[in-house]
Amino acid sequence: MLLSSRRQRVLALMCAVLGASSVGASAGGQWRIAAAAAGMLLCAAVLILVDVSGRARNLERRQAVLSKRVDGLFTQQKREATASRSSLTENAARIIDAVESGDARLLEAVHAAHGASDRLGTVEDGVVRLEEEAARQRQTHAGFRKEVFGVIRDQTREVEALLQLFSRVSPRQPMPSSGRWALDATGLLNLYALVQRDRPELVVELGSGTSTVWLGYALEAAGTGRLVSVDHLDEFAGHARAAVDLHGNRDSTEVRHAPLTPLRLGDEEFAWYDRSALADLDGIDMLVVDGPPKVTGRHARYPALPVLLEHLADDALVVLDDTDRSSEQKIVDRWLETVPGLRREPVLVGAQAVLRYTRPGAEVA
């Protein structure tokens, strides 16, 4: 693990404390304290990234030393191979001389040549193994370097997105954690910006959680609209409902439990939300697709658009999360190929696909 040193754990704890302080201060209207805490949080996050980067450089130096040792052994083996080849050539010449002179040294030269040939084969095998090991070491080094810089880049973006979110939202209670199973901060920031831009009257979210609370605050800031969030697990729906109640968004946000049921589309079988839980939702201005989880089946989120297409408004947004995964990318491609009036919009932050649906023949202002 990258955050394994004592110093890194202390900095991570500082980030947590400063983040909580910033949220608490903003909730209490103490904006100067909140801004100061947010600034210190950013500094602590930068210190973590710098420390991780330093550890990565140390690992790179160790990798370079190991590669240098492997190269040295490789050079030594090549020298031995060259010497064995020279010995084999000399012994071959001795054989020729012995044959031509009829000398009794023929047998001795033959034995010596066989021995040199065996040694040469052993050395050449060793050279091949060292070449393969050197190639593996170079590949491992390049992969590790790419992974470390990827982690630093992604964590920096997430910190930036969180700071932007908390500058826009003053939560009444501590916010649920982002990332892992929940939407990450960049995805939440993208959803918040879309709500502020389009001001949808009805938002439907497939897959409840952290995003449910953030979307509730986004609609509150926009001054219009309601959110219906659906989850296939009753336990998760209960957690989301409790979070909504805690933050006081019950009037604008509804969480529904819709267990997965068999669904057939053409020649394909899916496990998808119980359609009766969505039957009354018409004129959906914004559809957020973050479920079902991919473990429930191949292209698990594909049915969202075919099933709910007739429930969308004449001009609607469809947002699919996790489009950094190949399965979600294929879902977007299938939607664009099969749904008339659907086109892709640019995305500034987050791993989401934003699609604009305009119903064919509809008059859109």
**CATH at 326:** 3.40.50.150
Which residues, other chains included, contact 298 with Cβ-Cβ below 8 Å and sequence gap of 6+?
327
Q: Give the domain extent around 341.
A: 185-358
pLDDT along the chain (365 residues), means of 10: 56 64 62 63 65 69 70 70 68 63 56 62 70 72 62 76 89 81 87 96 96 96 95 96 94 96 96 97 97 93 97 98 94 97 93 96 76
357, 318 in Cβ contact below 8 A? yes
Place of tokens 């529904």: 256
Assess if residue 176 is contained within a domain: no
Q: Degrees (nearest 5) of the Cα angle 171, 13, 15?
A: 45
Q: Which of 130, 165, 200 is the last residue of a domain?
A: 165
Please give the tally of structural domains in the chain.
Answer: 2
Assess if residue 178 is contained within a domain: no
Q: Which residue, 63, 70, 81, is CA-closest to 130?
A: 70
pLDDT for residue 332 = 98
Q: How far is the C-alpha of 139 from the C-alpha of 142, rounded, in Å? A: 5
pLDDT for residue 161 = 84
Same domain, 270 and 345: yes
Same domain, 211 and 129: no
Q: How far is the C-alpha of 291 from the C-alpha of 233, rounded, in Å? A: 11
247, 216 in Cβ contact below 8 A? yes
Same domain, 47 and 106: yes
pLDDT for residue 49 = 67
Same domain, 123 and 211: no
Same domain, 207 and 315: yes
Q: Which of 135, 165, 195 is the last residue of a domain?
A: 165
Same domain, 291 and 323: yes
Assess if residue 269 is contained within a domain: yes
Same domain, 313 and 203: yes
pLDDT for residue 20 = 61
We report the CATH number of the domain holding residue 96 as: 1.10.287
Same domain, 332 and 290: yes
Three-state DSSP at 291 gives coil
Assess if residue 365 is contained within a domain: no
Assess if residue 261 is contained within a domain: yes
195, 212 in Cβ contact below 8 A? no
Assess if residue 158 is contained within a domain: yes
Same domain, 195 and 159: no
Q: How far is the C-alpha of 323 from the C-alpha of 330, rounded, in Å? A: 9
First vs last C-alpha separation in the chain: 53
pLDDT for residue 190 = 96
Same domain, 12 and 110: yes
Assess if residue 171 is contained within a domain: no
pLDDT in tens, 143-181: 656 666 556 667 788 888 889 998 999 999 998 887 556
Assess if residue 342 is contained within a domain: yes
46-79: burial string, b at 16+ Cβ within 10 Å, e else: ebbbebbeebbeeeeeebeeebeebeeebeebbe
Phi, psi for 257 (deg, rounded to 5): -95, 125
Phi, psi for 153 (deg, rounded to 5): -60, -45
Same domain, 266 and 161: no
pLDDT for residue 1 = 42
Same domain, 240 and 118: no
The amino acid that residue 47 corresponds to is L
